[in-house]
Structure 1
């Protein structure tokens, strides 16, 4: 059994759909069933939809575990001034120290992603074979398949930005006795597969949502697929392709920028600006418990979390002051931060807190969706691509739409346009899991995080220290694995 260590997976399909979509508890950790069981299970629309709900649930657990989305995407950007006496491990990470006594090996371990990929690969492998007559409509079947391909592309792209080369597993292990480990595939090959998966996803998905909007943004659609494609192509510096994909989102997706008055609703979720989000709703008993998971309140304290005095992740005053110049008018400066000029400055854009115990206020629940892609992000990504293509006039139009919504006025031609677009992304998407990747992609990480040396970054080389090491514990039973080049001999 040891050689199958990497692919011991969640069998989420055997759990009720209700448990998968409404509970914060972990999914049962079961071993994969053999092919006879799997074939018997995937026989109906209910089976396919339950399995898909399982995939979303596993993804949700991965991205919120230990604040993973923000840990990988924000901590190392320089946005935060983490208190080392209260969170020593993440303090080290914020300084570009991805290894060391206080940096847990859970940050290096990708096994949970392959538990998710096992679930997704099962859907991709089995859902097409379910007879069309078993579905209420063929569109339902198409959407299940399309969403599975989107989720696989998203998972692999997310992993590749953390570790670079990763094992590319495209088939489910239907029988654990035949499971095998495979070597890390080059990142270019991973991205190629992601883009191929997105083509299949787009063929099966549609723009828009049902009239009631209950699944708005929290279920992937064609707009989500084009948004992910734009991000992958920007990462590859294929700016022509990025600009085209982003334009499709902007012109065909039906998304609109939230008006300035209701701007903060974006971060609660399911607005017309949202493209893809992870659902975290107190109204659906999904609100993240601040009592049982105190890490979810790391950027806040009183008066936003009743009775909480310490703040583990205060905002970096220097970073804020560098970015936000028009503090009198910028609604983001007013809405994102509280006491940002102190050593206890808070990031409050995700501060939709409800108390399950009412007036006692001892059982706080964070009820903001985890925002993955939204329209402002894609507009600024297209502006970046257009600038790289020499189409500055078109880039400025998009840039100004985001700036005007924020209340800071048009771009001034005396400023460097490339830097302005980058810093507009840093302002607009502050603490949304994008900053580190934007700074790596544009080779600016050492300019904004003074602790992240250019020697470690290696000018953005694929083998640089901006990538994370692989957990040495995974090497024990997998002789195909090799360590991320920069970290060889350092663990």
Structure 2
């Protein structure tokens, strides 16, 4: 038997969820073969739903923290004193060997890409087989196009996410038969991103703006979600001209509206007027007890923790970012700010469930991937990078106005950094900060991770990319270690 190219812990096969309405309520399972499964619209819908379920599994790996452990934990949002099984990630000490059961297992999960490729294989199957289903088996051509567009979106999203984490990753655009899979090396990040752009443009042409029903709002991809993904890909590449143009296509549509910042926390319950793409886990059949809420909340917002928050926010960062105490995002999304242990309460939509001799706190918060303020500030960032300072200020100040703040008063020379800071205020603990600081470092050379986490020399050497777990290279002999970490693993 040939070696499996990409180690996937789940069986590769047709993955499905149980219904459209509750399309993320359980793990996808393999119950059919490709020869017998792809017959009608509901089959295609279940298969696409399986792709979302696998993406959710990926972003919730390592105690439900995957999304935040990549995007927030290694930044200035958290104190270096954060001490727990994720402290090495907080310090960017990513080369530790797999040793203790808790620390080692979670680090291993974060250094592996298994579940990303499970989701990609699912998308590849949808891309291959949905076109083979007769048009007469769908309610409309639009329905078929939307499902195929979602599959292209999911493949692009997973590859973009991996490329931001590891840089070069193996590129596979066809469904892999386990018996036929072979070792392949890492593909250059530029080539992977080119494939992402191609896939997203295909998705944009296939997807509609409207949702089939309101229950799908933001938790399934529409044209706006695909455009948001494309804008972020361009920003990551430093192609700010195309980033600006793409963001405009979202903002000019007026499909999304800002949530009143007095009700800011409603955004994180999910499916708000501001949400563009989210991972659904706020319904009664969703949510979990190990999650970002468990690690960042305490009493009275999480009654099961009467001590200090497990993750410690960096008070200096809070003071620096939120330099105006009347900022509505600060007054509504943070608590206990006058104490030595302030907390962010964005994920405080908690339900308490009686279990066996214990009360479980279940978080009912969606993972917010893209939302309106994110895209408006990405537009401002692009304009500042293009030296279109007046237009950049207009976009920046629109977001500030929603928070009850006046116009930004810094200089043009500091505007790009100022917009990254504004993203830090607006998108605190939403999985963006790490990537924002990488773009800031690339554009300006300014380091805001914290010197103990990553200095300029480390950054220039590529420390911001994660290492691959050595176990992956034992499986695929053509893999090589991420350059910065090659001598450290």
Give the structure 1 partner of residue 231 of structure 2.
230
Q: Is the counterpart of residue 280 in structure 1 residue 277 in structure 2?
A: no
RMSD: 2.3
1:83 shift after superposition: 5.1
Deviation string, structure 1 residues 418-447 (Cα, Å, up to 9, x no partner): 221110001000000000000001106733
TM-score, structure 1 normalization = 0.91
Q: Would you say how many aligned residue pairs link Structure 1 and Structure 2?
A: 473
The equivalent position to 2:127 in structure 1, one of 124, 128, 140, is 124
1:212-291 equivalences under 5 Å are 213-252=214-253, 254-283=255-284, 285-288=285-288, 290=289
1:51-66 equivalences under 5 Å are 51-66=47-62
1:92 shift after superposition: 1.9
Conserved? CA contact 1:457–1:465, under 8 Å:
yes
Deviation string, structure 1 residues 114-168 (Cα, Å, up to 9, x no partner): 1111111000111111110111111111001000001111100000000000000
Deviation string, structure 1 residues 320-366 (Cα, Å, up to 9, x no partner): 01111111x101111221223544221111111122349x9923211
How far apart in 2 are the matches of 1:56 and 1:218? Answer: 9
Conserved? CA contact 2:124–2:174, under 8 Å:
yes
How far apart in 1 are the matches of 2:463 and 2:236? Answer: 17
Deviation string, structure 1 residues 227-267 (Cα, Å, up to 9, x no partner): 11111101111111000000001012511111233222111
Q: Does the residue aligned with 1:354 lie in a helix, a strand or coil?
A: strand
Q: Does the residue aligned with 1:202 lie in a helix, a strand or coil?
A: helix
How far apart in 2 are the matches of 1:202 and 1:223? Answer: 8
Q: Is the counterpart of residue 438 in structure 1 residue 424 in structure 2?
A: no
Give the structure 1 partner of residue 392 of structure 2.
395
How far apart in 2 are the matches of 1:269 and 1:295? Answer: 15
How far apart in 1 are the matches of 2:378 and 2:20? Answer: 37
Q: Is the counterpart of residue 204 in structure 1 residue 201 in structure 2?
A: no
Q: Is the counterpart of residue 364 in structure 1 residue 361 in structure 2?
A: yes
Q: Residue 20 and residue 477 in structure 1: after superposition, are their counterparts in 2 closer, same or farther (change >3 A)? A: farther
Unaligned 5+ runs, structure 2: 98-102
Unaligned 5+ runs, structure 1: none
1:13 shift after superposition: 3.4
Q: 4+ runs of 1 displaced by more than 6 Å?
A: none
Q: Residue 132 and residue 350 in structure 1: after superposition, are their counterparts in 2 closer, same or farther (change >3 A)? A: same
1:90 shift after superposition: 1.8
Give the structure 1 partner of residue 473 of structure 2.
475
1:15 shift after superposition: 4.4
Conserved? CA contact 2:17–2:47, under 8 Å:
no
Q: Residue 16 and residue 318 in structure 1: after superposition, are their counterparts in 2 closer, same or farther (change >3 A)? A: closer
Q: Residue 208 and residue 449 in structure 1: after superposition, are their counterparts in 2 closer, same or farther (change >3 A)? A: farther
Conserved? CA contact 2:220–2:277, under 8 Å:
yes
Q: Does the residue aligned with 2:265 lie in a helix, a strand or coil?
A: helix
Give the structure 1 partner of residue 160 of structure 2.
157
How far apart in 2 are the matches of 1:301 and 1:405? Answer: 28
1:306-321 equivalences under 5 Å are 306-310=303-307, 311-321=309-319
